Each structure stands twice: as C-alpha cells, then as structure tokens.
Chain A
Amino acid sequence: MNRIHYLFNNKQERVLSIYFTAGFPNLEDTLPIMEAIQAGGADIIEIGIPYSDPIADGPTIQDSNKIALENGMSMKKLFEQLRGFRAKVNLPVVLMGYLNPIIQFGMEEFCQKCKEVGVDGLIVPDLPMQQYLDDYKSLFEEYGLVNTFLISPQTSEKRIREIDENTDGFIYMVSSHSITGAKSGISEEQIAYFERVKAMNLKNPRLIGFGISDSETFTTASNYSNGAIIGSAFIKKIKESKKLNQDIQGYLQSVLN
C-alpha cells in the first residue's frame, strides 16, 4: 500500500507535513534533514526540487531554491542522494517540483526513479488538472505515485469537486490566495474558507499550507482539516541552524506540543 494511503487510514488528525528544498542549506543535507524530520515526529516529508523560476513561491523559498542550485543540486544528484533512503526513513515522501525540470529529465524516467527510490507522491504546482488527466495520469498510476492538487479560496466548488474526483492522496489547501510565506497567522476570512471546504465532505483528506509556522497556527489549521504543511517557516529555521538535527527536532516538537 502507498505510504500516503496507509498514513491517512491510520491518522486523520493533526497530520504534519514538512517541506524543505533539496540541497539547502548545504548540498548533502537532504538525508540528514529527512531523518531529523522523522525523529521530530512529523508525518510526511515534502522535498522541493529547486528551480530557477519558482512562480508559486515567495522570497524565502525562492532564496532556498537559488542557493540549492548554486550548491550544485540537480535532478540527477537528488535521485543519487535518495537512493537507499528507505533503509532509514519510513515516512511518506512527496516530491514537489515545477514541471519544466521534470519534463527535461523525462516524465516517465522521473516516475520510474521515484518508484525505484521509494517516493510516494508528487506535487507539481504548474501542472494543471486537465493536462495531468490528458497526458500523465496513467503514468503516475503505473508507478504508484499519488498526485496532489492545490486549491485556494478562489477555487470554485465545482472545481474542488473535480479535483477531489481526480486525486486519491490528499488535497493541499492554500490557506489564502497567496504565494508561500507571504502571510502569518490565520484570519476570520480564512477560517470561513476552511469551514466551507470542510462542509463539502470531500473523499480526500485535506492539509492546509501557506502561513503555518508554529503550534498555534498548526492547531488552528488542524481544527478545520486533517493537518497542515509547514514550508517557509521551516526553511527559515534551518537557514540559521548550526546543529540541524537538534534544531529540527526542537522546532517540530514545539509545533506539535
């Protein structure tokens, strides 16, 4: 069974997913960060594939992408680093990457490599649903990869239903109409949106991302969904960190408690 399905079969509340950019802060930090996220008690690891033009990301993640590329991170390098990671990490792993680097690598080869190293799912923010259905769905399924779509407060109910129909992992709820890391805290307007989507009784679990940074925002988001995703706030933590393992575990425990 896909690890994402296994996770949500066993846990429906306070699921914590952590995003980091591969190759940041240092080229060889990928595996140590994954191990620390697992030890810190998170439930899903989301690894960003760095890209020169990340249009859905704010300054913090843009900056981490830039540094990762300067450090020499590439698709090939990432798959080399991920080879054998399943001996140490058993959390579900999702790769998040923009479409261009993936199609240059080759979509089928990419899916094959994901399966080979033990990746469970993909988030490709600039792959629209229709294009996915027309061109890639059968390929993702062939290699056992769960595809995740984003929704925002502007997404219509009809479209949310279509997305729910066409995915079987989880739905990534962008908490405000916003790029990553733009805002902190959760407003009443956002809560109305969380409640609206909750009331739709979707078949997929929902994780709330964008704007989650601490115990309070994590708990609020979890009250209206199955859990949340932390990205920019995590990147800021590890950017300043001298002792990655210790700092990551400390941060995750502060969020979860």
Chain B
Amino acid sequence: MIRVDERGFYGKFGGAYIPEMLHPNVEELRENYEAIMESPEFQKEFRMLLKDYVGRPTPLYLAQRLSEKYGAKIYLKREDLCHTGAHKVNNTIGQIILAKKLGKKRIIAETGAGQHGVATATVCALMGMECTVYMGELDIQRQRPNVERMKILGATVVAATSGSKTLKDATNEAMRQWINNPVDTHYIIGSVVGPHPYPEMVARFQSVISEEMKWQLQEKEGQENPDLVIACVGGGSNAAGAFYHYYNTPEVRLVAAEAAGLGVSSGKSAATTVLGTPGILHGSKTILMQTEDGQVVEPHSISAGLDYPGIGPVHAHLYDVGRAEFVAVEDEDAMKAGIELSRLEGIIPAIESAHAIHALNMIEYRKDDVIVINLSGRGDKDLETYIKWGGY
C-alpha cells in the first residue's frame, strides 16, 4: 500500500527534519491542511478556479502519429494547456486558498526554471497577496522571460546567491526567509519535496491529473486504467499527480523519467535514483545526490525544472519498493524527443516533458498497450534552449 503515515513517512522516506524555528509553521500546516482541503467550502472554490481559471479538465489526447511511430496507443495528458503553461498552477491554486484560510498575508516561493514562480505570482495577483519568489542567480540569467513575467504579475524576485545559485539554493533561501517571517507568511513549495505535510499536500493538489485521466480513459477506452503512465521527475510533482490514483493499482505500470544530463557517469547529471543514496534534503528523508561525507552534489540537466539533486520522498519509496520503473534520459535524447513531438503532433513540449516522451525508447511495452504520457508543460519558455541546441 503506497500512502503516507501519520509521521509523514512513505516507507523509509519522508518525515519533517526541520529546525525548531520552523516547527510552529509546519505544525500549523500539518494540523490544518486536511480539514481545510476536505471542507466543502475549499473544494468549491478550488474546483471552480481549476475549471474557470486554469482551464481544467485538460484534454486527454490520443496522439495518432506518435502512436503509429511507437506501435502503442499513446495518450497525452495535456497539462501544457493549463493557464501559465504547466501543471504547477494546480498546486499554487490549492495552496493560496489554504494560505488565505490560515489567515496569511504574504506568500514566498522558490523557483528553478521559473514555472512555479510564475504560477505562484499568478495566484498571488489573483488573490491580491504580496509575493516574493526566490530564484538562483544563475537561473535568473538563464530564464529571463519568466523573471519578467513574475515582475509583470507584481511579484518581487530575489536572487539566491549561495552555493550553485540554482533551485536547491533558492529552496534554502526560501526556507530561511520563512524562518525570518513565521507569523504572517505562507511558503508555497512547488514540488512534492520539503518537510511533511508538503509532499503529500502538493501531491493531493496535483492528483487532479490522474483523477481526470481515470474518467477520460473510461470515456475513450471503456476502462479507467491504462497499461502505463509515464512522467518526468525532478522533485516529482507532475509525476506524483499522474501516478496518485494508480499508486495502489499494481496492473498499471508507473514509469518515471529522470534527467541523466550529459550521461549518468559524466559527472553532469541529475539522475537521482542512479547516483543518489538515502539522506536528508530540504526537510525530508529521501534519495539524493551527495558525497561520501554527506555534502549535497550539484546536479546538471539541460532542463531547469529537473535540475535538482533529490526526488520527493514518495518517489524514493516508489523506487525503493519497485512500484515505479525509473529511466534516466540524457539531454540530447530529450531535445530530440521534443523536436519529434513538435513534428509529429504539432506540440512543442517543455524540455522537462520531453524526457517523458523519450522514455518510450527505453522501456518495453506491448503493441496494444494504452500508454498515458503526462505532458507537464509547454515549450514556450524553452525556445532559447531549443534555438541554441539547434538540431532541427
């Protein structure tokens, strides 16, 4: 049975390893999030915004030409069509309503590529709340358009200048700022990482993805279950959402595509389950890339959203018990898959999602299998990377 226990553990992974200064904030959230999320009032507002503002349900699209090429029945779950361009907004909508119910006045968030930052700035504008987004100095340079989008939306973007100046450091900085502003501030974590209850809470907000997949497949295939679900994993929020309602349906194969970067043995990789070992990162026990001495190793991926040295604790557990299959997709292959999808289906995917497309080449499946690939985001933000790469 895949589910979180009272202490926030999925098997051996999870928990809340946080400084005492964060205890009151995290405890307040832990004590209240379920009751708030399950209240009819919350559900009404959440569902209404997902429908009218985000544009849900997102289509489940049978990709004909992709299916022909790979010899299976391949559906794309079109999270790329969500407002702001990716699945991230499902979670920020949920958390901002929660923050309001908790009486918070300010929102902070971390961001890597800027997608979660934009999704957070968007809902803050929607709710009229003050928003500060922490972003690695290097990512600010790499993802200029998203920085400007956040500013247009009224958010303040603060550079994280420590360490590798990327997502990991932005997360550290957001946690520090939460310690400094514990009373009126809510921290919207963008993935299924962090101390309990974040991983489960974020997964539940994202679980709308697999909830829709089930009834959409019922309509199209006359069955709720596909044979396989494929999703990319950085921290793993889109994968958690796409897997959630299938965790305990063993006949559905779950495939997680990690970023191998320049190759798992190149020293420039983010393939956490291949290169990582159990330890603690950002408040939870999980699998992370680290030295023998327990120092966190800097990851690499061409896709900023997968450029993270750990995975969410639920994914560490799915890996540990063999519930999900993990593949590691190299930068080059992901880029080619992105171009392939563009040419076959007229959909330019985010480079993160392109990793999930390439996974089709790395796993075995039968000819008549029904496969759902979670297309977590669109490629607009990645145009510059596609152009620089140039292989089209």
Q: Which A residues form the contact surface with B (CB < 8 A)?
A: 51-59, 62, 66, 69, 74-76, 98-105, 125-131, 149-152, 154-156, 159, 163, 174, 177-179, 182
Contact = CB atoms under 8 A, between A and B. Distances in A.
Contacts of A154: 21, 23-25, 182-183
Given A55-B19, A127-B17, A151-B20, A100 B176 contact: no
Nearest to B164: A52
B163 A104 contact: no
Interface residues of B, number: 34
Given A100-B280, A101-B295, 12 more contacts: A54-B172, A56-B21, A99-B17, A99-B280, A100-B290, A125-B19, A131-B17, A152-B21, A154-B21, A156-B24, A177-B182, A178-B179
Contact of B163 (A53, A76, A98): A53
B343 to A, nearest CB: 41
Contacts of B17: 99, 126-128, 131
B21 A103 contact: no
B294 A105 contact: yes
Given A62-B162, A177-B180, A53 B21 contact: no
B93 interface: no
Interface in B129-181: 162-163, 168, 172, 175-176, 179-181
Nearest to B173: A55
Interface of B: 7, 15-21, 23-25, 162-163, 168, 172, 175-176, 179-183, 277, 279-283, 290, 292-296
Nearest to A54: B172
B281 A125 contact: no
Given A177-B179, A179-B180, A51 B20 contact: no
12 contacts: A52-B295, A52-B296, A55-B175, A101-B294, A126-B283, A128-B23, A130-B7, A154-B21, A154-B183, A177-B182, A177-B183, A182-B180
A190 to B, nearest CB: 14
Nearest to A174: B21
B125 to A, nearest CB: 28
Among B179, B281, B282: residue with most chain A CB under 10 A: B179
A104 B16 CA distance: 18
6 interchain residue pairs of minimum CB distance:
A104-B294, A101-B294, A56-B19, A154-B24, A52-B295, A150-B20
Among B21, B25, B280, B295: residue with most chain A CB under 10 A: B21
